[in-house]
């Protein structure tokens, strides 16, 4: 199968680019989804061809490609640093000197998201995976009561904030792939549909399909993928194990990831409840030929062992569609 198997580097941000390239090659990967700031300086890439060549040379040294750049953390700050929606946890996603200054964090994030379009273009990458935050996530449970007007206002605020950013991506010929995820304005099937409608199905905005965030919500990832396939610009291979034993709940009880008292945990691909076989079949039917990017998150497993096993697992399931029907050969003569 032509789909490359890549590694999302954000969980490996403690390693420099050269080291993660060496390790990724050792684990069997064919490319990297480079995390902005951790392994890719978007501003430097936009301004310095020498830096871009340096990154490309490092990747080439280990025979690795790059088909996507991630700006998840920066994107989260665009919306969630609004004065009326400010979350102090964002301080860890922005430069330290901006801590506690939501207006400055948001201004920084908007400019960084724009410059990332130019940095990606300079790298020859046409997809940026990202988060966009949500001014209404805290309203997900309707008590105190959440009105339809409040929800609509939230979606319109996102459109107002992000449309100028999208304009910059259009200039660069780069698309944005939103990871549908709790805390985002689109976190399940119907909120995704509403977001696409809010932007009038603008081609700039697509989806970074990640089944791990859907399955514990009770959404069938393969059904979601089938219906939104034309908007899937990038795919994450990530798994979740649901552990609803009568005591554990799906909201997690404020218990740290990896603890067996949680109702669900992220686990290494193949160790959870995601039906990857069905997902690959949908991808084949819909003609997706982009990367399968492993976002490795498993607090209960040593990461090099897990990253290696995850790569092997993904290559094993990365089969092509048949070019003939199985019963074509059932003919006389």
Measure the N-to-C terminal CA separation of the chain; round to a whole number of Å: 33
pLDDT in tens, 302-314: 999 999 999 999 9
| Mean model confidence pLDDT for the chain | 96
State the maximum Cα–Cα separation within the chain, in Å, rounded to a whole number. Answer: 79
Instruction: Give the pLDDT score at 83.
Output: 67
Instruction: Give the pLDDT score at 282.
Output: 98
Beta pairing, strands 239-242 & 264-267? antiparallel
> Over 90: is that where the pLDDT of 211 sits?
yes
> Over 80: is that where the pLDDT of 26 sits?
yes
Instruction: Give the pLDDT score at 283.
Output: 98
DSSP 151: H
> Over 90: is that where the pLDDT of 169 sits?
yes
Instruction: Give the pLDDT score at 242.
Output: 98
Instruction: Give the pLDDT score at 1.
Output: 56
Tell me the pTM: 0.96
CATH class of 5-317: alpha beta
Q: What is the DSSP code string of 99-127?
A: TT-HHHHHHHHHHHHHHHHHHHHHHT--E
Q: What is the rounded CA–CA span in Å between residue 204 and residue 132? A: 14
Q: What is the rounded CA–CA span in Å between residue 312 and residue 137? A: 36
Band the pLDDT of 333: cuts 50, 70, 90.
low
* CB atoms closer than 10 angstroms to residue 289: 10
Encoding tokens for residue 37? 């700031």
> Over 60: is that where the pLDDT of 4 sits?
yes
Instruction: Give the pLDDT score at 332.
Output: 63
pLDDT in tens, 38-94: 999 999 999 999 999 999 999 999 999 999 999 999 999 999 988 666 888 999 999
Q: What is the rounded CA–CA span in Å between residue 21 and residue 236? A: 19
Distances from the Cα of 172 to the Cαs of 73, 111, 119, 122, 144, in angstroms?
Answer: 21, 15, 9, 9, 43
φ, ψ dihedrals at 233, nearest 5°: -100, -10
Instruction: Give the pLDDT score at 79.
Output: 95
Q: What is the DSSP code string of 258-320?
A: T-TTSSEEEE-TTSSS--HHHHHHHHHHHT--S-EEE----TTS-HHHHHHHHHHHHHHH-PP
Q: Which distant-in-sequence residues (6+ apart) come within 8 Å of 272 by Cβ?
A: 212, 215, 239, 240, 241, 242, 266
Instruction: Give the pLDDT score at 326.
Output: 77
Q: How far is CA 312 from the centre of its chain?
A: 21
Band the pLDDT of 142: cuts 50, 70, 90.
very high
Q: Are 32 and 291 in contact (CB under 8 A)?
A: no
Alpha helix (H) residue ranges in 62-203: 72-80, 102-123, 148-172, 189-198
The percentage of residues in the chain with a pLDDT greater than 90, rounded to a whole number, is 93
pLDDT in tens, 237-263: 999 999 999 999 999 999 999 999 999
Band the pLDDT of 265: cuts 50, 70, 90.
very high
Instruction: Give the pLDDT score at 327.
Output: 77
Beta pairing, strands 31-35 & 232-237? unpaired
């Amino acid at each position: 199968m032509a789909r490359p198997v890549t590694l999302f580097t954000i969980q490996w941000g403690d390693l420099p680019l050269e080291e993660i390239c060496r390790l990724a090659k050792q684990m069997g990967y064919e490319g990297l989804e480079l995390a902005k700031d951790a392994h890719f300086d978007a501003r430097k890439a936009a301004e310095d061809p020498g830096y871009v060549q340096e990154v490309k040379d490092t990747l080439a040294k280990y025979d690795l490609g790059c088909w996507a750049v991630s700006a998840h953390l920066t994107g989260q700050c665009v919306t969630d640093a609004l004065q009326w929606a400010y979350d102090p946890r964002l301080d860890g996603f922005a430069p330290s000197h901006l801590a506690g200054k939501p207006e400055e964090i948001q201004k920084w994030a908007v400019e960084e998201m724009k410059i990332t379009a130019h940095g990606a273009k300079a790298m020859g990458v046409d997809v940026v995976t990202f988060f966009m935050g949500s001014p209404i996530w805290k309203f997900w449970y309707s008590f105190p009561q959440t009105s339809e007007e409040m929800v609509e206002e939230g979606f319109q605020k996102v459109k107002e904030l992000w449309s100028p950013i999208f304009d910059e991506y259009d200039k660069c010929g780069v698309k944005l792939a939103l990871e549908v995820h709790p805390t985002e304005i689109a976190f399940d099937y119907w909120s995704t549909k509403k977001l696409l409608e809010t932007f009038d199905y603008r081609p700039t905005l697509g989806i970074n399909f990640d089944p791990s965030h859907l399955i514990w919500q009770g959404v069938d990832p393969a059904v979601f993928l089938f219906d939104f396939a034309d908007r899937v610009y990038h795919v994450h291979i990530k798994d979740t194990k649901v552990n609803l034993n009568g005591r554990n709940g799906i909201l997690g009880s404020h218990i740290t990831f990896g603890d067996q008292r949680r109702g669900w945990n992220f686990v290494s691909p193949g160790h959870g409840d995601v039906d990857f076989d069905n997902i690959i079949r949908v991808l084949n039917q819909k003609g997706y030929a982009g990367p399968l990017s492993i976002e490795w998150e498993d607090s209960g497993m040593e990461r090099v062992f897990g990253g290696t096993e995850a790569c092997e697992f993904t290559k094993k399931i990365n089969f092509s569609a048949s070019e003939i029907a199985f019963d074509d050969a059932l003919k006389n003569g």
